[in-house]
Amino acid sequence: MAIQDIYPTALRLLGRPVLVVGAGPVAARRTKGLLDAGARVTVVAPVACPALAELADAGLLNWEPRPYRPSDVDGVWFVQTATGDAAVDGQVSADAEAQRVWCVNASDHEASAAWTPAVAVVDDVKIAVNAGGDPRRAMALRDAVATALDTGDLPLRRYRGSGMGATTGSVALVGGGPGDTGLITVRGRRLLGQADVVVADRLGPRELLAELAPDVRVIEVGKTPGHHPVPQAGINRILVEEALQGQRVVRLKGGDPYVLGRGGEEAEFCRRHGVEVEVVPGVTSAISVPAAAGIPVTHRGLAKGFSVVTGHEELSEVPARADHTVILLMGVGQLRDSAASLARAGLPQGTPVGIVENGYLPNQRVTIGTLGTIADQAEAAGVVNPAVIVIGDVVRVSPFAPSHFKTADYSTTAPNAPRTTKTRVLTP
């Protein structure tokens, strides 16, 4: 049988009788698929493998513990052979052919009237792959297609209604990470590919918007410091109004929607108005952007904890110790005041400070100084948001730190041993 002889189709076997001849591991796998399709399965075999016997004991199928008889194909819609005996499988196939019943002959795919594809299910999409009678090739292709659907590399977006009578759409609050398209989660990428409407921030993986289908509407609601063209109340209304019109809405945010991203307010507003909402965590810039500059927010021998605040928040309650990392988001404009506040709380003026602008993007820039110098350095360098500011001894670990910061190798294997590796230095 050549692949050109195959007419791909899908069988609706719900409630219909089917026959499986054989009860080994292959038969068990095929039987499980038939049961998943809702078929009424009868298995004929003298002995059943444990997996198939369990299905019979659970009352999910009818097992006839005896050899095959030609009358077994009477009245069935579909037959699967898997005895491991080519002569028996051939006889079953011939009997089914005589009664014009489709039969899969597991012993001889060339002579089989039907082939069973390699199958995967992603959401409500079922993928079935035939590969010229090569089951391993079919499985490899199936897995590759399923992975591409899972990751959003292939579109899962619907163009017809689900047929379930639903009139209300949904909202997904998707954390897009710090901006690099490879740092959005698989779930987030997948939902973005299914969206009818995307409500987008100015941060996050903006390049992914260019990959959307032409008829996907992108509503820009991005904010900059001191400039909010669409206030938060307006964003909340957009999400609900679009969903109530039956749209699948993705709120694409930078970082994580629940880390200083007002995602909690958006989710609460949606639920209060009867809109289904899903929250997809993202790689928060508070941790990932320092990592882009080689700065861990915790490190053995340097810091065991960290605090994340915005530059607009009162810092008096933050532990003022160099061994407790302080991370400021949206803090460039108030950096001088923030540094002074931490100094008044007791943090030494020589505490290392690192500023990472545009983390993971081609124009990423790192500025490193101390609590006492960083405000002047930032002004001289023209530092602007988006930027993450890291305050604490962990900045010493960065390969961009000045050489005089690197007095020791704070490794997990030899704490405080002399450092011998060369590092890059970025100074104002």
Band (pLDDT 50/70/90 cuts) for residue 414 is very low
Q: pLDDT per residue over 308-346, tens digit each?
A: 988 666 788 888 888 899 999 889 999 999 999 999 989
User: What per-residue confidence (pLDDT) applies to 133?
Assistant: 73
Structural domain contains residue 424:
no
64 & 99 share domain? yes
Number of H helices, E strands in the chain: 10, 19
272 & 333 share domain? no
292 & 413 share domain? yes
> Dihedral angle at the C-alpha atoms of 296, 302, 307, 312, nearest 10 degrees?
-90
412 pLDDT above the threshold of 50:
no
Q: What is the CATH number of the domain that holds 307?
A: 3.30.950.10
Q: pLDDT per residue over 180-220, tens digit each?
A: 888 999 899 989 988 999 999 988 899 999 888 889 999 99
Domain of residue 294 covers 287-417
Structural domain contains residue 160:
no
273 & 314 share domain? no
217 forms bridges with which residues in the sheet? 197
Please say whether the dihedral angle defined by the alpha carbons of residues 374, 379, 381 and 384, taken in this order, is positive or negative.
positive
Amino acid at 51: A
Structural domain contains residue 44:
yes
User: In 10 A of CB 48, how many CB atoms?
Assistant: 22
Band (pLDDT 50/70/90 cuts) for residue 417 is very low
Structural domain contains residue 337:
yes
- Domains: count for the chain: 4
88 pLDDT above the threshold of 70:
yes
Closest among 23, 60, 65, 22 to 41, alpha carbons compared: 60
93 & 67 share domain? yes
Judge whether 208 and 174 are in contact, CB under 8 Å: no
Q: Where are the beta strands (DSSP E) in 284-339?
A: 305-310, 324-329
Positions marked active-site: 201, 223
291 & 413 share domain? yes
What predicted TM-score, i.e. pTM, was given to this entire model? Answer: 0.67
175: helix, strand or coil: strand
Structural domain contains residue 425:
no
Structural domain contains residue 364:
yes
> Mean of the pLDDT values across residues 7-23?
93
Q: pLDDT per residue over 214-249, tens digit each?
A: 899 999 997 666 666 889 999 999 999 999 999 999
112 & 136 share domain? no
53 & 143 share domain? no
Q: pLDDT per residue over 95-107, tens digit each?
A: 999 999 999 998 8
Q: Are strands 415-417 and 409-410 parallel, antiparallel or unpaired?
A: antiparallel
Domain final residue pick, 260, 283, 306: 283
Closest among 220, 151, 145 to 181, alpha carbons compared: 151
